[in-house]
């Protein structure tokens, strides 16, 4: 899959930016209500948020947004569809994409845009390579976690935008990113028992 161009105003496929080793980038955690374009802040009242990451390249002033999305719309990824009797189709794939700019109004108005780290170009470039690897190996989208009962056997785990941001931050930390520990972010998981 590589880094693919399906986000709004997405960059061409596999054109992840790279930076000089000593460049400085600010890393942002970003949250906005799911389907804000249709329902405004309604889903924020229920803590149903879409998560993403932002980057600001200090030397050039360029901003980038990175999001992990379902490839075939949320409902297609969440539920299989019956085509004909006894035939199902389930397009439950997801991937990260990156595009130029950060829509500050979108993220701040009903959600969150907060700086969580500063990294150098070396860390970002390693993270960019990891992102392509992750897109090629973690290709499914799962809206919720399913267990037999609370704290029971796990049938399958959620794998969506918030879990991608958490995986991405963890991986960035292994490359040397130091996160601002005073920033507290909440992530909502949907569980089915």
pLDDT reported for residue 10 = 62
Give the global pTM: 0.86
| Known active-site residue 161 | yes
pLDDT at 2: 46
Greatest alpha-carbon span in the chain: 59
List the alpha helices (DSSP H) in 44-157: 74-78, 104-109, 121-137
Residue 6 has a pLDDT of 52
| Candidate list 7, 47, 50, 91, residue with the active-site label | 50
Instruction: Look up 91 and say whether it is catalytic.
Output: no
Model confidence pLDDT, tens digit, residues 67-107? 887 776 766 677 777 777 778 777 777 888 888 899 999 89
Catalytic site residue from 7, 77, 97, 161 = 161
Q: Which two tokens stand for residue 159?
A: 């794998």
Higher pLDDT, 105 or 135: 105
Specify the higher pLDDT residue, 50 or 8: 50
């Amino acid at each position: 899959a590589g880094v693919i161009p399906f986000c709004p105003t997405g960059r061409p496929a596999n054109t992840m930016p790279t930076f000089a080793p000593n460049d400085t980038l600010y890393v942002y955690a970003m949250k906005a209500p799911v389907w804000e374009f249709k329902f405004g802040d309604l889903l924020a009242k229920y803590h149903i948020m879409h998560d993403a990451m932002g980057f600001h390249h200090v030397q050039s002033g360029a901003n980038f947004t990175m999001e992990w999305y379902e490839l075939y719309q949320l409902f297609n990824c969440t539920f299989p569809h019956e085509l004909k009797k006894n035939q199902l189709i389930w397009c439950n794939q997801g991937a990260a994409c990156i595009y130029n700019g950060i829509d500050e109004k979108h993220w701040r108005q009903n959600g969150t845009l907060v700086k969580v780290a500063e990294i150098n170009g070396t860390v970002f470039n390693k993270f960019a390579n990891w992102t392509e690897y992750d897109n090629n190996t973690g290709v499914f989208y799962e809206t919720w976690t399913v267990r037999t009962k609370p704290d029971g056997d796990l049938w399958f785990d959620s794998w969506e935008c918030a879990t991608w941001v958490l995986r991405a931050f963890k991986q960035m930390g292994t490359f040397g990113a130091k996160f601002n520990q005073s920033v507290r972010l909440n992530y909502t998981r949907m569980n089915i028992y």
